[in-house]
Amino acid sequence: MVILSEVQSSNARIASTLPAGLVAVFVGGTSGIGETALKQFAKHVRQPRIYNIGRSQEAADRIAIACKELNADGEYHFIKADTSLIRNADLVCQEIRSNERAVNVLFLTTGTLLGRTGTSEGLHFATSLAYYSRTRFIVNLLPLLKQASSLRRVVTVFAAGYEGPITTSDFQAWKVPMLSQRGHLSSLTTVSLEALARDAPSVSFIHDFPGSVKTNLARGGEGAAIYVLKQVFKVIGPLINMPNQECGERQLFLATSGKYPSEDLEASGVPLTAGDSPVANGTSGKSGGGVYSVGSDGESSGAKVVELLAQFRKEGMVEQVWRHTNEEFERITGGDPA
C-alpha cells in the first residue's frame, strides 16, 4: 500500500520538480472525486491552468473561488456541458484545442447510478458517462497530451481491480445483469486504455478505483432502488468513506507521481525518492509499461486481473472493443472529425 505520508510527500514536491503552467482538464470536476482532485491540483501546481467540465455553473463558480483562495496564480475555466453526449464532448474538446497547444493531465470521473435510460444519441446513459464519453475525450485530447513537454497523463476513475467478463453481444450493457455491470464496464475501460496506449507510448494511462468516497452518483435518481441506496449510504457512508481530502490527495498522486511512468519513461512525473514504494506494475504484470489498473491503495491490481487481461489480448478482445467503440463514434458523428 502507498501510505498517505508518501502521497503527501510526493505532492509536496510537485512545485519543485514539475514546471509551472501545467494544463489539466477535469471532466466531471464540479462535485465528488473530481472536485476534490481538482482542488488539490490547484493547491500544489505552480500557476496551474485548469478546465473544469460539468453541468453546474453554480458549483463551478464555488469551486473557482475556492481554487483562487488556494492558489491565486492559477487560471480556472469552466465549460458547461452535458458530457453524456458524444457531440458535446467534441464541442468541449474543440474549445480546449482552440486555447491550448498541449495538455498535461486529463482526469475523468463522470458517472451515475441511474438505470437503463438512453441518451438522445442512442447510447445507454450510464455507460456513455462511464465509458463512451470518457473515451471520446481521451481520443480528442490525446494529440495535445502527446504535445506536452513535461507530464503527460490520463486518469479515469471507475472500478479498477474489478475487471470481469465482457458481454460482446451487449457492449452498452442494456441487458447485462446489475451484478455483472461493474466488471463489464471496468474491463471496457482498461482494455480501451491499452488500445489507446499503442499509439501513445509517451502518455501514461491509469484506470483507478478510489474506494468508498462520498459522491453524487445517485443525484437525480428516482425509484425504490435508488431510494434504498441513498438511505444505505447515509448510514454506512460515514463509517467506511475515505475522507474527501485524502481522496483528493491520492488522486493527485496518481495524476503526477513517477510511480506510474509512460511506456517510454519520459515525462513521467514527480521523481521517486529513497524509501518510496517502487514503480507500479502495468496491466501486463511487469514493472511500468504505461497502462495501469490501480486500487484505492495506490498499488496495481492483482494476478487475477493480469490473467484476465492477458486472456483478453489472446482472444483479440482489445481489437474487438476498440472496433465497436469507433463504430459507435462514427454512427453518432457521421464520421465528422472531432
Cell matching residue 117:
435510460
At 216, is the pLDDT very low, low, confident or very high (cuts 50, 70, 90)? low
Residue percentage of the chain with pLDDT more than 90? 87
Q: What is the dihedral of CA 168, 171, 175, 181, to 10 degrees?
A: 100
Check residue 131 and report its DSSP letter: I
Rounded Cα distance between 297 and 315, Å, is 30
Average of per-residue pLDDT values in the chain: 93
Task: State yes or no: pLDDT of 185 exceeds 60.
Answer: yes
pLDDT above 70 as % of the chain? 92
Mean pLDDT, to the nearest integer, of 8-28?
98
Residues 10, 6, 24, CA angle at the centre, nearest 5°? 35
Closest C-alpha to 137, from 51, 239, 198, 244 = 51
Beta-carbon contacts of 16 under 8 Å, excluding residues fewer than 6 positions away, are none
Task: Quote the pLDDT of residue 213.
Answer: 81
User: Is residue 159 within 8 Å of 186, Cβ to Cβ?
Assistant: yes
DSSP letter assigned to residue 18: S
Q: Which residues pair with 118 in a beta bridge?
A: 124
Note the pLDDT of residue 337.
66
Model confidence pLDDT, tens digit, residues 109-123:
999 877 779 999 999
pLDDT at 114: 74
Query: For residue 236, is pLDDT > 80?
Result: no
The grid coordinates listed for 51 are 478546465
What is the tally of helices (H) and strands (E) in the chain? Answer: 12, 7
Q: What is the strand order of the sheet 105-108 is part of?
A: 75-80, 49-54, 23-27, 105-108, 153-157, 204-208, 291-294
Whether the model clears a pTM of 0.75, i.e. scores above it, the answer is: yes
